[in-house]
């Protein structure tokens, strides 16, 4: 059984898994076959219902992917996160090696509704595509391969069709009241979204062994299908890294559209574009100050967002309030 849910729907999906598991243990489902569960959840939140819902994953869970937004500010939307430590401790005992996880939490840039595909623009279709990919791998939907209509939209910057990108998905969910109360920008330095409740999965060693054997068997049969669905691309993004106590910047090249280098002239760094178009981008003073203030390893991103270039230093927008 596979459940898919977003926001409160993800909380409902968790509770539903537990109700089905309980019924299977009581023998009231009309079948003696074991029930195996999987989940694809996006931004599990629960407001005022946590006492009535069982949010922990049941013992018969084989696989769960939970996508969590990194840049949501609303205090009424703290994400439910998972603790599957008990199962992972058992699997370490079985294999004698590293634990074999079954719950994968991936934190992505953007707000709650970016991940839920609730905006006209943004990374939502990319997130939806992750769920679709997994469903296809399970054989529950015919794969559309490289001709997927839902993956193609009009690129308002270029006037052509192109894939939706994560760099389109940086919405600020603060409302007027949030601004009046002085809520900080989710893209400011030091912002870190606080998790809500932790759902601790309950499982005993016999249940863990049955799940472990089944997971290992499936991974042996389909080794290339494991952990391949959480990769995103960023359109027009240039990423540079600088090691601690070093001065040189090195571009991270991974199927990027542009190449460039950071050069320093008279003590002032600038970005020189070298391919496919040559040019120069002056680095704003507030960004340069942020670069100087970072003592450890530093990442500098130039991202095209809503047709405009934005600078990020270690994941935040310098000077953003």
Local mean pLDDT, 10-residue blocks, the chain (321 residues):
93 95 80 83 85 90 90 87 92 74 85 84 70 73 57 49 50 85 85 91 90 78 44 60 91 74 87 86 92 91 73 86 72
Q: In the numeric block, which tokens belong to residue 273?
A: 């574009």
Task: State the pairing for strand pair 61-69/103-108.
Answer: parallel
Strand, helix or coil at 103? strand
Pair of tokens at residue 50: 């946590």
Q: How many CA atoms lie within 13 A of 65 on its CB side?
A: 19
Return the pLDDT at 149: 56
Domain range list for the chain: 2-225, 238-313
Q: Write down the pLDDT at residue 167.
A: 52
H or E, element range at 22: helix 8-26
Q: What is the pLDDT of residue 9?
A: 95
**For residues 231-243, b (16+ Cβ closer than 10 Å) or e, as one string?**
ebebbbbbbbebe
Q: Could you give the dihedral angle defined by the CA atoms of residues 141, 146, 151 and 153, in that order, rounded to the nearest 10 degrees?
A: -150
pTM reported for the whole predicted model: 0.74
The pLDDT, as a whole number, for residue 227 is: 41
So what's the pLDDT on residue 228?
A: 36
| Cα–Cα dist 15/251, whole Å | 45
Determine the pLDDT at residue 180: 86
Residues 123, 165: contact at Cβ < 8 Å? yes
Count CA atoms within 13 Å of residue 205 on its CB side: 5
* 237 CB-near residues (< 8 Å, 6+ apart): 167, 256, 301, 302, 303, 304
Cis peptide before 110 (omega within 30 of 0): no
Identify the residue whose tokens are 């934005």: 310
Peptide bond into 228 cis (omega under 30): no
CA distance 225 to 259: 32
């Amino acid at each position: 059984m596979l459940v898919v849910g977003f926001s409160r729907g993800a909380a409902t999906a968790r509770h539903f898994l537990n109700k089905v598991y309980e019924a299977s243990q009581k023998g009231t489902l009309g079948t003696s076959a074991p029930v195996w569960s999987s989940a694809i959840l996006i931004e599990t939140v629960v407001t005022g219902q946590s006492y009535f819902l069982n949010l922990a994953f049941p013992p018969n869970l084989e696989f769960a992917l939970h996508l969590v937004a990194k840049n949501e500010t609303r205090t009424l939307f703290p994400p439910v996160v998972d603790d599957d430590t008990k199962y992972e401790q058992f699997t370490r005992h079985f294999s004698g090696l590293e634990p074999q996880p079954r719950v994968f939490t991936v934190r992505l840039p953007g707000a709650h509704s970016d991940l839920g595909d609730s905006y006209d623009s943004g990374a939502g279709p990319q997130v939806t595509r992750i769920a679709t990919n997994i469903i296809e791998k399970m054989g529950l939907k015919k794969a559309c391969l490289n001709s997927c209509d839902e993956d193609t939209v009009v690129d308002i910057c270029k006037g052509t069709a192109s894939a939706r990108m994560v760099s389109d998905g940086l919405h600020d969910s603060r409302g007027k009241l949030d601004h009046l109360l002085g809520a900080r920008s989710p893209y400011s330095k030091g912002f870190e979204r606080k998790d809500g409740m932790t759902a601790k999965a309950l499982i005993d060693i016999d249940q863990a062994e049955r799940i472990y054997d089944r997971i290992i068997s499936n991974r042996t049969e389909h080794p290339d299908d494991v952990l391949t669905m959480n990769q995103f691309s960023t359109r027009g993004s240039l990423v540079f890294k600088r090691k601690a106590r070093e001065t040189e910047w090195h571009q991270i090249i991974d199927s990027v559209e542009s190449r460039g280098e950071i050069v320093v002239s008279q003590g002032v760094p600038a970005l020189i574009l070298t391919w496919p178009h040559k040019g120069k981008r002056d680095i704003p003073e507030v960004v340069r100050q942020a670069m100087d203030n970072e003592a450890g390893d530093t990442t500098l991103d130039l991202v095209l967002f809503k047709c405009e270039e934005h600078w990020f230093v270690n994941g935040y927008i310098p000077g953003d309030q």
